[in-house]
A and B are shown apart, each in its own frame.
Chain A
Amino acid sequence: MLEKGIGQSVKRKEDFRFITGRGNYTDDISLPHQLYAYFLRSPIAHAKLNSVNIEEALKCDGVKAIYFGKDTQAFLPCGWETPTRNGTPPMAEPPWPLFAQDKIRFVGEIIAVVIADTVNHAKDASELIQYDYEELEAVVSPEKSLEISSELIWDNIPNNQCFDWEIGDKEMTDKAFNSAAFTASIELLNNRLVPNAMEPRSYIGSYDKGKDEYTLYTTTQLPHIIRMLVCGVLGLEEQKVRVISPDVGGGFGSKAFHYAEESIVTWASQKLNKPIKWTAERSEAFISDRHGRDHITNAEVAIDDSGNFMAMRVNTVAALGGYLSGSGPAIPTFFYGPLIPGPYKTPTFYCNVRGVFTNTVPVDAYRGAGRPEATYVTERLVEAAAEVTGINSIELRKRNFIQPDQFPYNSPGTLTYDSGDYEATLDSALKSINYDDFNKRKAESKSNGKLRGLGISCYIEACGVAPSKLTLEAGGRGGYYESSTVRINPTGSVTVFTGSHSHGQGHETVFAQIVHEKLGVAFESIDVVHGDTGRVPFGVGTVGSRSLAVGGPALMRSIDKIIEKGKKIAAHLLDSSVEEIVFKDGEFSVSESNKFVAFADVVGAAYVPGNYPIETLEPGLEETSFYDPPNLTYPAGAHICEIEIDPETGQIDIKNYCVSDDFGIVMNPMIVEGQVHGGVAQGIGQALFENCIYEENTAQLINGSFMDYTMPRADNVPHMIVETEVTPCAHGLGVKGCGEAGAIAAPPAVIHAILDALKEKGVTEFDMPATPNKVWNAINNKS
């Protein structure tokens, strides 16, 4: 076993630059003669925009230009067209202009950009821009929005409804409910969240007039896709645009979309022939980064007299915000509905989702993206079923789990789960948390005047997005493959170019581990390049826990091609046939002989092809591959949360948190655990602290800063015990993806623990976030 090979907790290559302050984030980059952009954003949520006057502002010190709606009518495209339910209109797809045109639809919408020699000059000038508007009634709740008939967000879109989508079998589901021994129903709010990657978004647009070429530095997770979209928005050709996403300080989905500011700085850099830089302030990020979640759901479960789930029926209203974000319509549909049946043998289900415009920041993917919402529904239903049947929820889960011998399993959600052992992860988590002694701990808490509760959450998610055929059928407008190029340099070192993008995940380490293991080249001699369309031939990028699940096999294909070509060269050098050549431990040898040639010598021959099969083989050693996966991957597992509540204050203290995940093959356990820790902290954030609060009639974001929006801090998050069980994924490298699981599984685990603790107080319903105030009110029967 190689010390730095596959499966080892290899320390990260990228860390040196980060711990020494040598990271290179977009805002760290300054180009000669650059100017600074400042965006004037609407402080009003819903208004007719009558006019914009920049005359006074233009006279301010240092101002070079001010642009607004009349200067360009370009708009952001949507990357997904959700097919709608029979008898309902097709998805409404209104344009999202770079600058507000005649109407404003959310607080934070861009009215104008000021470009000046300093940020402060641009800000000062923005205060003198005058705009005339006529305020309209604003709406925050997607349910209320559906009832609106006048002062619509879009004049031509009735009821503010973007789409009405369904999945599952309504007839079968209704039938199951009619014959069920037990039914249970719940109403849920899935609270709106602000992703809040620690690095605010930042862009620099730069134009080279001599070559008519553009460079965009951007905090993105998808550099090649952004290049394509910027070209689409601005009418440019891709060979003229280079997109560089250098070190990126976290993404969590929020940096996976094309933002208007990216196109605007690129466009303006050409108009002014100067680099233009913009960096968001945090409070600005609150009203301009895409938000996540924001569902209202009614859900029911039907159970037979043996405790088997017969069906689930789910109706969800999902807020989309004032405009359609790039994958906004995909998240509450394709990434949500199919997973409602969960890891259970739920034979049938029906899920209806209506996507609705609201006067809020547009909603899109945030860590888990649809799957946390699905898991929250399914798991809350499981607990409701346990309650109504009187069966312990652990027993109920085990009775309904899809069994290891049932894979591949065709779920009623139209997915084919390829592998898993759900009971194994649940048992492992129960063991970690010492479940058998829980009642003893509960009694101890009680003697101290505290309420103790334990909550379980078993999740399944769909990752490794995605087979392009599948997403195209579901409404996607792009390919979801990944690419890689492996370049063996003449001296034997390796450069890997990957279309995946790391913004904290550690690709530079893990991808190097794979190459090291497979080619035997020293780990230190392997560098991974990502985040630059000028260096990486092509790619998609990193979302949906896909880097290793999709980017990994793309890398593996290139490695295999290198070995294949190496064998041909070795056969020539060893005067043997290709079929006889074996590659192992960094050497090509002739099987059943002592003839061998080192990898480095094969590389040497490839680049100095004097003794080389030049007539049949090209010199050089560099291979490129694309990989479009045959299926999604299905990570699954169990989280158990144990809490103590102080009934005097409503304060929640997480006492124990145990995780057991099945991510398939694990390449670097240290990194995988770290991903789980971070995901769980975000899930705990959703369950206990985070909530994006809009004032109902004005749609003003009330808690739009770190002063007001509660981010989880070190003393809010427990020490977690993280275990993994392994059932390899049936395709690719056997990996399933680990990036989102924590954020998916944690919210129901935490809420179930709270409901368990408050059961003796008669509390049966609870919406996130469980702030001390809400907990105290629940205990004291106050709403």
Chain B
Amino acid sequence: MPTVNINVNGQDLSAEVEERQLLVHFLRDDMDLTGTHVGCDTSQCGACVVHLEGKAVKSCTMLAVQANGKNITTIEGIADGDNLHPVQEAFRDHHGLQCGFCTPGMIMAAIDIINRKPNLDEKIVREELEGNLCRCTGYQNIVKSILAAANK
């Protein structure tokens, strides 16, 4: 089995992985980072979004071996110690989550949207969330949370 060297949430690590293993399964099963979720099998739902070199990717859409030599950030790695990331705070403040299953992917996607788009409005946020599904919130409070975080 090939060896991959990856930095996950600031920690360098080296691991043997099966060639066919997806990054999301490497994170969940091998690294025990279960905050990243699997909600589909067609790269549609975005529950598995993580950051690769600071940019949002669906971790079900790449192999673990493709992450060799790269920096990965997951939902577990975005808070600064006990200080939550502003997007995490905003989701809590604005009831941007219900069952919580899509939430890590939503938050990771939201951080990326805020980083990429300087002048966010509701329409842009809704379009940018094209890759993330939520079945609980009707998206309204997710959009509200992202706009609130962007305006902080």
Contact = CB atoms under 8 A, between A and B. Distances in A.
A19 B39 contact: no
A402 to B, nearest CB: 29
Contacts of B143: 714, 719
Contacts of B133: 198, 706, 711, 713
Interface in B44-79: 44-45, 47, 74-76, 79
Interface string B127-140: 10110111111111
A109 to B, nearest CB: 20
B147 to A, nearest CB: 11
B33 interface: yes
Interface in A1-27: 11-12, 14-25, 27
B42 A21 contact: no
A504 B99 contact: yes
Contacts of B139: 677, 681, 713-714, 717
Interface in A583-637: none
B103 A19 contact: yes
A43 interface: no
**Residue from B47, B92, B95 whose CB has the most chain A CB atoms within 10 Å:** B95
A228 interface: no
A760 interface: no
A249 B105 CA distance: 13
B141 interface: yes
Nearest to B142: A714
Contact of A198 (B102, B125, B140): B102
Given A14-B100, A681-B138, A715-B126, A19 B91 contact: yes
B16 to A, nearest CB: 14
A190 interface: no
B41 A281 contact: yes
A715 B35 contact: no
B127 to A, nearest CB: 5
A295 interface: no
Interface in A678-715: 678-682, 705-707, 711, 713-715
A20 B40 contact: no
Interface string B7-32: 00000000000101000000011000
Interface string A504-548: 111000000000000000000000000000000000000000000
Interface size class of A (residues with CB under 8 A): 35 or more
Contact of B136 (A30, A504, A706): A504
A678 B135 contact: yes
A715 B133 CA distance: 11
Contacts of B99: 197-199, 247-250, 503-504
B111 interface: no
Contacts of B18: 120
A279 B132 CA distance: 21
The residue in A11, A198, A707 that gathers the most chain B C-beta atoms within 10 A of its C-beta is: A198
Nearest to B129: A714
A11 B135 contact: no
Given A199-B39, A283-B41, A19 B101 contact: no
Contacts of A719: 122, 140, 143
Contacts of A720: 138, 140
Given A19-B97, A198-B39, A714-B142, A252 B130 contact: no
B100 A23 contact: yes
A747 to B, nearest CB: 14
Contact of A120 (B20, B35, B38): B20
A749 interface: no
B107 A19 contact: yes
Contact of B127 (A281, A682, A711, A715): A715
Given A18-B100, A23-B101, A674-B98, A715 B129 contact: yes
B103 to A, nearest CB: 5
A670 interface: yes
Contacts of B76: 20-22
B111 to A, nearest CB: 12
B65 to A, nearest CB: 16
A499 interface: no
Contacts of A248: 99
Contact of B100 (A200, A249, A711): A249
Contacts of B142: 714
A398 interface: no
Contact of B125 (A15, A505, A714): A714
Interface in A223-278: 247-250, 252
A680 B138 CA distance: 7
Interface string A746-780: 00000000000000000000000000000000000
Contacts of B126: 714-715, 717
A18 B103 contact: yes
Contacts of A127: none
A23 B97 CA distance: 12
B34 interface: yes
A671 interface: yes
B122 A249 contact: no
Nearest to B88: A19
A118 to B, nearest CB: 9
A28 interface: yes
A673 B102 CA distance: 19
Contacts of A11: 92-93, 95
Contacts of B97: 15, 18-19
Nearest to B92: A15
Q: Which of B28, B76, B100, B125 has the most CB of A within 10 A?
A: B100
Given A198-B101, A248-B99, A715-B129, A20 B45 contact: no
B136 to A, nearest CB: 5
A705 B18 CA distance: 26
Contact of A674 (B95, B100, B125, B132): B95
Given A22-B35, A711-B133, A250 B79 contact: no
Contact of B44 (A19, A506, A676, A707): A707
A131 to B, nearest CB: 24
Given A19-B103, A671-B95, A715-B129, A200 B138 contact: no
Interface string B86-123: 00100111010111111110010000000000000011
Output the residue of A16, A506, A681 with the most chain B CB within 10 A: A681
B18 to A, nearest CB: 8
A585 B91 CA distance: 33
Nearest to A719: B140
Nearest to A9: B95
B90 to A, nearest CB: 9
A82 interface: no
Contacts of A85: none
Contacts of B20: 120
Contacts of A21: 33-36, 74-76, 104
B107 A27 contact: no
Contacts of A23: 35, 100-101, 103
Given A250-B99, A713-B130, A717-B126, 9 more contacts: A12-B92, A19-B88, A198-B102, A250-B135, A678-B137, A681-B138, A681-B139, A714-B129, A717-B138
27 contacts: A15-B100, A18-B100, A19-B103, A20-B88, A21-B34, A23-B101, A23-B103, A198-B45, A198-B136, A248-B99, A250-B135, A279-B38, A282-B40, A282-B42, A283-B41, A504-B98, A504-B99, A504-B100, A505-B98, A506-B98, A678-B98, A680-B138, A706-B40, A711-B133, A714-B126, A717-B139, A720-B140
Interface of A: 11-12, 14-25, 27-28, 30, 120, 196-200, 247-250, 252, 279, 281-283, 503-506, 670-671, 673-682, 705-707, 711, 713-715, 717, 719-720, 742
Q: 5 closest Cβ contacts across the A-B interface?
A: A21-B35, A249-B101, A18-B100, A504-B99, A681-B138
